[in-house]
């Protein structure tokens, strides 16, 4: 029985790869440090580290401490990113209970995302609702800045209903040291009025700036009497019934869509004073902040329609989204 001879220099190659990998992974050395220590170029140091991985000389294990397992869900986040084509998913353990304070944990996580994503010359657009109010509440420092904060959907109503627009706009502008841009308009009006508002120098500027916002944050509403649109008398049961007939499951900025993400047509879009869903879909950093069982289908439809690049949600919703995605694929 014969054995293949060892290629001259092979053992030295392995030794160098092991040394480079040890210095990099265990001792925290940079590629420049490794190059200087081993007497090789910096690109060679990088190739040695990569070779150690490719040859199975390195095994990397990531362990979550027991006391953090209920709060950290990186595997689920990675699955959401892969299956829905997201830039980033953030999953928290706290599930919204529908109360005023129930969205605060989601708001804190979303505020942290904004801190990493916003640039000084960006415009931040937002739709009104409890989720974005929670984000505004969570903006505690002034280390993150942007140029403008703009309202993406009309909010004026004939009843004394608190949308949280003034608070969200004012707090975000103050904390982000940005210029606030208010959209002084109703959410729904007759088509002629909508056209006039879009051509108005003040209202038109807000809508134009909103369409081009580099970052947008929004929640979603279900098609039910529990939605903020129904509670604020923006829509009634007759409109809800008609929307359900057309397969609507959710809305963003008063614009409705189906479970597969397709946009619901009909007379309502022409009456809506808000940034269109296509603009949200085209935004480079569209941030969907929402959770709770009542909003599962609305969140799924938004993701299916590509309306979000970044998702902040709760663990129950995340698991439901993955199960629903797997079922729809079979």
Q: What are the residue boundaries of the structural domains of the chain, listed by start?
A: 10-54, 68-329
pLDDT tens figures, 176-232: 999 999 999 999 999 999 999 989 888 889 999 999 999 999 999 999 988 888 888
* Amino acid 242: pLDDT: 92
Q: For residue 66, what pLDDT band results from cuts at 50, 70 and 90?
A: low
pLDDT at residue 283 above 80? yes
* Amino acid 202: pLDDT: 85
Task: Select the CATH number that applies to the domain covering 68-329 from these four: 3.40.50.1360, 3.40.50.1000, 1.25.40.10, 3.40.50.300.
Answer: 3.40.50.1360
* Amino acid 5: pLDDT: 45
Closest CA to 316 of 300, 295, 293: 293
| From 23-37, 62-76, 143-157, 262-276, the region with the lowest mean pLDDT | 62-76
- 88 forms bridges with which residues in the sheet? 310
What percentage of the chain reaches a pLDDT higher than 90? 70
More confidently predicted of 171 and 140: 171
| From 61-65, 179-183, 298-302, the region with the lowest mean pLDDT | 61-65
Q: For residue 289, what pLDDT band results from cuts at 50, 70 and 90?
A: very high
| Distance, CA of 240 to CA of 225 (rounded, Å) | 8
| Distance, CA of 83 to CA of 67 (rounded, Å) | 28
The DSSP secondary-structure symbol of 267 reads S
Residue 215 phi/psi, 5-degree rounding, is -130, 135
pLDDT tens figures, 9-59: 457 788 889 999 999 998 999 999 999 988 899 999 999 999 998 988 888
Contact partners, residue 125, CB within 8 Å, separation at least 6: 149, 150, 151, 152, 209, 210, 213, 215, 216, 217, 275, 283
* Amino acid 266: pLDDT: 87
CA 266 → CA 70, 235, 269, 278, 279, distances in Å?
44, 15, 7, 16, 19
pLDDT tens figures, 126-157: 999 999 999 999 998 778 999 999 999 998 87
pLDDT at residue 6 above 50? no
pLDDT at residue 4 above 50? no
* Amino acid 181: pLDDT: 96
* Amino acid 2: pLDDT: 41
Residue pointed to by tokens 């703009």: 150
- Topology of domain 10-54 in CATH is Arc Repressor Mutant, subunit A (1.10.10)
pLDDT at residue 105 above 50? yes
Residue 289 phi/psi, 5-degree rounding, is -120, 110
Contact partners, residue 98, CB within 8 Å, separation at least 6: 226, 292, 294
Q: For residue 241, what pLDDT band results from cuts at 50, 70 and 90?
A: very high
| From 70-74, 93-97, 129-133, 279-283, the region with the lowest mean pLDDT | 70-74
* 182 token code pair: 């208010």
Closest CA to 313 of 46, 125, 88: 88
Query: Once rounded to an integer, what is the mean pLDDT over residues 90-96?
Result: 92
More confidently predicted of 277 and 229: 277
pLDDT at residue 8 above 70? no
* Amino acid 29: pLDDT: 93
* Amino acid 67: pLDDT: 57
Q: For residue 63, what pLDDT band results from cuts at 50, 70 and 90?
A: low
pLDDT at residue 97 above 90? no
| From 63-72, 183-192, 250-259, the region with the lowest mean pLDDT | 63-72
Contact partners, residue 316, CB within 8 Å, separation at least 6: 95, 291, 293
């Amino acid at each position: 029985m014969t054995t293949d001879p060892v290629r001259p220099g092979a053992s030295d190659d392995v030794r160098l790869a092991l040394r480079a990998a040890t210095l990099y992974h265990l001792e925290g050395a940079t590629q420049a440090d490794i190059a200087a220590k081993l007497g090789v170029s910096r690109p060679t140091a990088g190739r040695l580290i990569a070779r150690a991985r490719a040859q199975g000389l390195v095994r990397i294990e990531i362990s979550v401490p027991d006391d953090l397992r209920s709060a950290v869900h990186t595997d689920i986040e990675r699955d959401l990113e892969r299956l829905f084509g997201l830039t980033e998913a953030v999953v928290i353990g706290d599930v919204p209970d529908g109360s005023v304070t129930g969205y605060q944990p989601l708001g804190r996580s979303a505020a942290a995302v904004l801190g990493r994503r916003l640039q000084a010359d960006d415009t931040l657009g937002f739709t009104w609702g409890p989720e974005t109010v929670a984000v505004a509440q969570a903006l505690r420092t002034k280390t993150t800045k942007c140029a403008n904060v703009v309202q993406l959907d009309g909010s004026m109503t004939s009843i004394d209903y608190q949308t949280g627009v003034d608070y969200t706009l004012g707090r975000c502008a103050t904390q982000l040291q940005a210029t606030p841009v208010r959209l002084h308009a109703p959410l729904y009006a007759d088509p002629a009025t909508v056209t006039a508002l879009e051509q108005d120098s003040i209202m038109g500027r807000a809508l134009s700036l909103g369409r081009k916002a580099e970052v947008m944050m929004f929640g979603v509403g279900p098609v039910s009497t529990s939605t903020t649109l129904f509670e604020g008398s923006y829509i009634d049961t007759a409109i809800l019934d008609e929307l359900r007939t057309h397969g609507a499951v959710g809305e963003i900025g008063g614009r409705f869509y189906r479970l597969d993400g397709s946009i619901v047509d009909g007379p309502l879009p022409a009456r809506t004073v808000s940034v269109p869903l296509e603009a949200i879909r085209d935004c480079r950093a569209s941030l969907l902040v929402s959770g709770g069982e009542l909003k599962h289908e609305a969140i799924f439809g938004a993701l299916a329609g590509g309306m979000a690049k970044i998702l902040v949600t709760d663990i129950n919703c995340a698991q439901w989204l993955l199960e629903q995605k797997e079922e729809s694929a079979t």
